[in-house]
Amino acid sequence: MTNRLAAFRQKLEGRVDLAFLPLGSTDLHYAAGLARDIPKYGVTLHPGDWLEGAWVAPGHPPVLALPRMTAEFGGRGAPEGVELRVLGDWDDPAKLVTEILAAFRLPPKPRIAVSERAHADSLIQLQALLPDATFVSATAILRELRLIKSDEEIALMREAGRRTEAAFAEVLPKLRFGMTELDVVAEVDYQMKRQDSLGPTFTTTLYNTGPEHPLMLGRRMESWKRKIGPGVSVLFDFGASHQGLCYDYGRTVSFGAPSADQIRVHGLVMQAQSVGIAALKVGATCESVDALARQVILDAGLGAGFRHRLGHGIGWDVHEPPFLTRGDTTVLQEGMMFTIEPSILQDTGFSARTEDVVVVRPGGGERLTEGFQDLLVVDH
């Protein structure tokens, strides 16, 4: 982590005078190892929490500012080489930040980099304190470092995939006719935690579809109540977190003996994924990989069912640029990581999806999960 923080400070040289990375952000987790929590549904506030985060600049030791409740009850502290400043419950946060800013000896019209996921309150307060500053994206600068994954990061992602797939293996024998989507989602999330994952990297999602079971995209609260029985394809989309890395995984399960149409649709999706993985090689472009995989489904006459991009960058966030989609001309480099996730989504027919994380290599992609390639069946 110390090396990443040093590399980030070097990236700032000549570009910005100071960067603010908020606590709880991917940016600060990546740069300094200050881990995120699983997101909460509601908001919890501490006095002065808008200043929570690290102040980083070239040629000056970083400073971590925290409210007392975050430092004490949250067990937060500064990593090696970072100065910790704690705001008391009755102290003035603007005064503390003014003192921190003074130590950095900013020019009259500084350039300040702020994480893209900082709270609006933080930026509003900073604008008031630095009315002549120009604000730019700190996340965009950090992405220059995050784009190519190290061997260590790939190993961590492989382990995240192992835990994800191990959770899925535990879920499969527990599936029964009559379960609701919410029953299945709860089981998936529980099994990921049993694999020593902090939790899901995004909201675990199921879609169940068939001729008598219309697809309900974007209507999660309604679909969660539906019972699943024979004649339905169930599409899984979930992933476990592991030491900051975010996995993303998908498979399709038939409830009841699959029809010829289910088998055909699933087979096309798997074929498209295989083509996409083979095409994920150094020197190709993002859009060319998408086009090759998409052509498999277009040639089968089901192109309208492939409604989204082939995949997205992934790593410390679930979705990262670049994207495997038309119009993205990014040239692939070894060590980039993407999802390869073709699907066929039919409103009143059988659907299917599959998804794995894949690393760009010279001769084609290296997939990090390989299990459950066949159409899975629940028969009771």
How does residue 93 score in pLDDT terms, banded at 50, 70 and 90?
A: very high
What is the rounded CA–CA span in Å between residue 9 and residue 62? 9
Mean pLDDT for the stretch of residues 179-187: 96
How does residue 71 score in pLDDT terms, banded at 50, 70 and 90?
A: confident
> How crowded is residue 344: how many other Cβ atoms within 10 Å of its Cβ?
27
What is the predicted pLDDT for the residue at 247? Answer: 98
Amino acid at 45: L
Instruction: Check whether 364 has a pLDDT greater than 70.
Output: yes
Instruction: Check whether 177 has a pLDDT greater than 80.
Output: yes
Q: What percent of the chain has pLDDT over 90?
A: 88
Instruction: Check whether 311 has a pLDDT greater than 60.
Output: yes
Residue 158: HSE in the Cβ half-sphere, 13 Å Cα cutoff: 11
Residue 314 burial by Cβ neighbours in a 10 Å radius (0-12, 13-18, 19+)? buried
Straight-line distance from the first to the last Cα atom of the chain, in angstroms, rounded to the nearest whole number: 49
Instruction: Check whether 72 has a pLDDT greater than 90.
Output: no
Q: What percent of the chain has pLDDT over 70?
A: 99
What is the rounded CA–CA span in Å between residue 271 and residue 29? 37
Judge contact between 209 and 252, C-beta under 8 A.
Answer: no
What is the predicted pLDDT for the residue at 219? Answer: 74
What is the predicted pLDDT for the residue at 223? Answer: 76
What is the predicted pLDDT for the residue at 2? Answer: 62
Residue 253 burial by Cβ neighbours in a 10 Å radius (0-12, 13-18, 19+)? buried
Rg from Cα positions in the chain: 23
**Judging by DSSP bridges, how do beta strands 249-255 and 376-378 pair with one another?**
parallel
For Cα atoms 372, 374, 208, give the angle at the middle one, nearest 5 degrees: 85
Mean pLDDT for the stretch of residues 202-206: 94
Plot region of 260 (φ>0 → left; ψ -120 to 50 → alpha; else → beta): alpha
Mean pLDDT for the stretch of residues 249-262: 97
How does residue 216 score in pLDDT terms, banded at 50, 70 and 90?
A: confident
Instruction: Check whether 164 has a pLDDT greater than 90.
Output: yes
What is the rounded CA–CA span in Å between residue 225 and residue 184? 11
Chain mean pLDDT for the chain: 95
Higher pLDDT, 50 or 220: 50
How does residue 1 score in pLDDT terms, banded at 50, 70 and 90?
A: low
**Judging by DSSP bridges, how do beta strands 60-67 and 53-57 pair with one another?**
antiparallel
How does residue 79 score in pLDDT terms, banded at 50, 70 and 90?
A: confident
What is the rounded CA–CA span in Å between residue 282 and residue 188? 35
What is the predicted pLDDT for the residue at 129? Answer: 97
Mean pLDDT for the stretch of residues 285-289: 98
Mean pLDDT for the stretch of residues 178-204: 96
